[in-house]
Amino acid sequence: MNAEQLHYITEDKILAELLGKQNFSNKESAILELVKNAYDAGSTKISLEFKSSTDGLILTITDDGEGMDTNSIKNSWMHVGKSTRGYFDNETNRVYAGSKGIGRFALSRLGDSVEMKSKKKGSVGVVWQTDWEKAYLTTDTMLAKKGTTFIIKGLRDRWTSRSIEPLKRYLSIIYNDDKMGIEIIYGSTISEKVSRAWQQPKLGVNHVSEICLSYDSKSNYLKGTIISDEFKDNVINISSQKSITSNNFNKNMFDMLRKEIKLLIESDEEHEEGILKETDFDTEAKELLVNLGDFSANFYFGMAPNSKKNSEYFEYKRTRLSEPFGGGVVLYRNAFSIDSFEGTKDWLDLNNRVVASPAAATHPTGSWRVRPRNLSGYVDIDKNKNKYIEDLSNRQGIVQNIYFSLLKLIILEGIKSFEIFRQSIIRDINDYKIKKLKSERPSENEKQEVKDIFKSLRNNPEAIKSLTEGEISKVINEYDRKEQENTEREKEKKELEEKFRYESQLLNVLATSQLKISSVGHEVKNDRNIIFKTPSDLEEAIKSELDWDDLVSEHIPFYRNIPELFGSLKNNTSKILNLADAILEETEKDKFKKELHNVYEISDKIIDKWKHQYKWVEITIDVDKSVECYISLDSLMVIFDNLILNSIQQNEHKQRLKISIKILITDKFEFVYEDDGKGLDEKYKSEPMNILEVHESSRADGHGLGMWMLNNTLHKLDGKILEIKSDRGFYISGYFMCDS
C-alpha cells in the first residue's frame, strides 16, 4: 500500500498576519528586514522614500542588488521558509544576514498592498503584486537596471517628517557596515544619509575611556586594552598605576570564571542530572569555552557632567563631554544587530551589578560598578563562529541558554578590569587630596593670630583700615581654607553615607543569618546536658543488653560497627556543642566594647578556639606578651577569624595545615600571616589584591565577603593590607592602628 505525501495548505492572508503584522514589534524593525534583504542581495545602496500621492503617503524602497526573475519569484520568493542564502557571499565579501526565509513578510507589517519591480542581470524584469489575499506575477520588458523596488501603499503606521530622525538613528545603530549606503528621503525637503553610530568615536568628545575586548576561544584567553583621557597629566605622579592613559590585560577565562561556569553547568536544564567529578567538570567547562567561539567588543565610557569643584578635586580634564554617546550596548551578529538588542535593553544586567555593589569609586573597600547610562558600545559575534548563541524563533531576541550566559560572564570580566583600573586611580587621587588637605592646615599659632584679628575687628570695626597686607592675607587664606574644609566635609559626609548604605546592605544579610544561627545556638545551649549525655546513655543501654566486647572487631565495616559509630557520634556531638558555644560567645555585647586588652592573650584565645575545632590545623603566633592596646575584641576576631577561615576553606582536602602569625609593634601594629597550603587560585595570582574586593571568591559556594570584611575592618582601624603573594602557600601582610 503506497502512502500519499501531503502538504499543508495555507491562506496568504493568515501568513501575512502571523509572519508579518504580528511578527514585527514596530515599524522600524519591519523596514530593517527589507534593508537586510537588500544587503544580502549585494546592494551597494538602498533608498527609503516617503512621498505623497493620490492614494496617500507611499513608501518606495529601492536597491541595486542582484534582483529576481520569474524563476526566483516562483521557487524562492513564494516558497515560505525557504532561504537561498548560506553563510558567506564570496562575490560581495558579506556574511548573509537572513536565514529563515520569512523576512519578506515585513512588507505586510508596513502596508495593505505591495508592488515589487525586480530585474536580474540577463533576464526580463518582473512585477509582483499582492493585497495579501492574492498575489500576481507579470513581466516588464521596460525595466532596464538590475535591482528591486518595493512600492508600499496603505501604510499601516503614521509616518511624518518627525519620524525620519528616529528612523535614521535606529538604522545607524542597527546597521554596522559600510558595504551598503542607506538614504532616507521624505518629500522634497528631507534627504538623510545614514551613518554608522560607532564609525569614528572621538576620545574626549564622545567618551573619556574606551575598552577593547577580544576573546580567543581556542586558548580561552580574553585580551583587553583600555585607553583613557579622563584625568589630567599630573595624576601620573599621584596614581599607583604605571599609566593613567592605557592599560592592557590578558586573562584566562577558565581560571577567572571557573566557579561561575560550574554554577552554570549545575543549573543548566539540559545538563544530565548527577554531580560532576572535578575532572569531568573541568573538561566540560573548557569545552563550553571553546564552543562559544571567538568574539570582540568595544565599549565607550562617558562620565556624567561634573561641577567645576568636583572636576578640580578629581583632576578631571573636563567637566562634561561636548558630544557624548548615549548609553546602551548593542549586540551585532556580523553586519546587523540582533532584534531587541539594539541598546535599549540592559541585557548585560549592568544595573543589577550596581544594585548589588553600589559603592562610590572613592570607597576604600567597596567595588565600584559602571552605571548603564555611562557605558555604550557593541559586541560583535558571528553567524558561524558563535552558532550556539541562537535567535528566538520569533526573531525578537536571543535564546537564554548556557552559551549566552557564558558570553555575558566573559564580557563582564572585561568591564570589571576597567572598573578596577579606574577605581584604583580615583582612590589614589582621593587619598592624596585628603593627605594634602591635612598637611595644609595652619598651625595653632596661625589660627590664634586670625582669631585675634577677628576679635579686634569685632570690638572695633574701624580697625580694618589699619590691617597690614600680611594680616589681610592671613584672614583671606583662613577664609579660603574654611570654605574648602566645609566643601570637603560635605563631600566626606556624602561618601560616608554612600559607604554605610553600601556596607549595611551587605552586613544586614549576614546579621540576619547570624540571628537565625544564634537562635539555634540558644536552643542547643538550653538542651546542652541532654545532647551531651545522649550518646553515653545510648551506649550504656546497649551494653546492658549486649556483650560490648563482641561488638568490637576490625573486620566489621564502619557503618555496622556500633562502638566505632558511637565514637564518631560523641566526637560530632562535641563539635556541635563547641560550635554553639562559639556562636553565642561571639555575639556577646562585651565583644563590641573598646577596652584595654593584652594583644597576646586576645590573639591566643581566638587561635585556641580554632585549634580545638580543627585538630589537623597547626597555628603558631609570635607577639610580645606584654603589649596592650585599646581595641574592641570583635575587630581582632574579624581580622584573624577571616584569615584562618580562608586558609581552612581553601585547604579543606589537606590532612595537615600550618599557619603562622607574627605581630610586630612599632608605631603601629604590623602583622604577617602565612600558611603552607595551596595558595591563591589561578585567577588571583596576577592580581592578588583583587581577593579583597567584595564578592570575590574562587569557591563555588563562597560568598566572597570574608576577605572584604578583613580589609574593611583594617580601614576602620586606620590600617591597610600591604602585600599579598602566593609563592609557597599563602602570604598576607598589613597593619592597623591601636592606642597602647
Residue-wise pLDDT for 32-56, tens only, equals 889 998 999 999 999 999 999 888 8
User: Do 43 and 179 belong to one domain?
Assistant: yes
* Among candidate residues 388, 421, 436, the one where a domain is terminated: 436
Q: Give residue 645's pLDDT band: very low, low, confident or very high (50, 70, 90).
A: confident
Q: Which of 467, 490, 507 finishes a domain? A: 507
- The partner residues of 709 in beta bridges, in order of sequence, read none
Average pLDDT of the residues in 455-479: 72
Residue 530: pLDDT over 70: no
Residue 413 and residue 358 share a domain:
yes
Instruction: Return the top range by mean pLDDT from 269-278, 483-492, 528-537, 674-683.
Output: 674-683
Residue 205 to residue 444: CA distance in whole angstroms: 47
733 and 652, same structural domain? yes
To the nearest 10 degrees (0 to 180), the angle between helices 164-174 and 27-40 is: 50
Express as a percent the part of the chain with pLDDT over 70: 76
- 152 and 264 belong to one structural domain: no
Bridge partner residues of 48 (DSSP): 61, 184
> At CB < 8 A and 24+ separation, what contacts does 369-375 make?
369/419, 370/301, 370/415, 370/418, 370/419, 371/304, 372/327, 372/328, 372/346, 373/304, 373/327, 374/301, 374/302, 374/303, 374/304, 374/327, 375/299, 375/300, 375/301, 375/302, 375/327, 375/329, 375/350, 375/415
Determine the pLDDT at residue 304: 82
Who has greater pLDDT, 280 or 498? Answer: 280
Q: What is the pLDDT of residues 623-641, one digit of tens each?
A: 888 888 888 777 888 888 8
Please name which of 166, 150, 176 lies closest in space to residue 48, comparing C-alpha atoms: 150
> 10-23: per-residue pLDDT in tens?
555 555 555 545 55
The verdict on 140 and 270 lying in the same domain is no
Rounded Cα–Cα distance for residues 114 and 154 (Å): 9
Confidence of residue 589 (pLDDT cuts 50, 70, 90): very low
Q: Is residue 541 part of a domain?
A: no
**How large is the average pLDDT for residues 158-181?**
93
Rounded CA-CA distance 210/227 in Å is 5
Alpha carbons 706 and 691: distance in angstroms, whole number: 9
CA 644 to chain centre: 30
* Residue 481 in this model has a pLDDT that exceeds 90: no
Runs of H (alpha helix) within 26-138: 27-40, 70-72, 106-110
Q: Do 230 and 255 belong to one domain?
A: yes
Residue 173 pLDDT exceeds 80: yes
643 beta partners: none
Question: Does 342 map to a domain?
Answer: yes
Q: Looking at 223-232, 405-414, 549-558, 720-729, which range is the least confident one?
A: 549-558
201 or 550, which is more confident: 201
Res. 281 pLDDT band, cuts 50 70 90 = confident
Separation of alpha carbons 367 and 420, rounded Å: 8
- pLDDT higher at 598 or 527: 598
Domain end call among 167, 194, 221: 194
**Residues 6 or more apart from 282 whose CB is under 8 A from it?**
254
Q: Answer yes or no: do 455 and 413 share one domain.
A: no
Report in angstroms the alpha-carbon separations of 510 from 516, 533, 703. 10, 33, 10
Residue 560 has pLDDT above 70, yes or no: no
Q: Which grid cell is 266? A: 549545575
With a CB cutoff of 8 Å and minimum separation 6, the contacts of 145 are 64, 119
CATH for 608: 3.30.565.10
> Which residue in this structure is represented by grid cell 600680611?
470
Domain match, 423 and 469 both: no
Residue 245 lies in a domain: yes
What pLDDT was estimated at residue 579? 58
Q: Is residue 53 domain-shared with residue 167, that is, in the same domain? A: yes
Which pTM does this prediction carry?
A: 0.77
Same domain, 218 and 365: yes
431 is a domain residue: yes
Q: Quote the cell numbers at residue 375.
A: 557605558
Determine the pLDDT at residue 516: 46
Domain-located, residue 659: yes
Rounded Cα–Cα distance for residues 181 and 466 (Å): 77
Percent pLDDT > 90 in the chain is 39
Q: Residue 9: CB partners within 8 Å, gap ≥ 6?
A: none
In terms of Cα–Cα distance, which of 94, 121, 79 is closest to 37? 94
Q: Does the pLDDT value for residue 65 go beyond 70?
A: yes
415 located within any domain = yes
Distance from C-alpha of 687 to C-alpha of 730, rounded to nearest angstrom: 14
Contact 118, 148 (CB under 8 A): yes
Q: How far apart are CA 339 and CA 396, in angstroms?
A: 5
Domain co-membership, 401 together with 465: no
Confidence of residue 552 (pLDDT cuts 50, 70, 90): low
Give the lowest-confidence range in 65-74, 468-477, 712-721. 468-477
Determine the average pLDDT of the residues in 540-552: 67
Confidence of residue 484 (pLDDT cuts 50, 70, 90): low
List strand residue ranges (DSSP E) for 540-623, in order: 594-598, 617-622
Round the average pLDDT of the chain to a whole number and report it.
82
> 256 lies in a domain?
yes
Range with lowest mean pLDDT among 208-217, 372-381, 397-406, 459-468:
459-468
Q: For residues 157 and 225, which has the higher predicted lDDT (pLDDT)? A: 225
Q: Are residues 402 and 476 in the same domain?
A: no
Q: Which domain holds residue 170?
A: 12-194
Domain membership flag for residue 228? yes
For β-strands 617-622 and 375-381, DSSP reports them as unpaired
Average pLDDT over residues 341-361: 89
Least confident range from 180-194, 346-360, 593-607, 724-738: namely 593-607
Number of domains in the chain: 4
3-state helix, strand, coil in the chain (%, to 5): 45, 25, 35
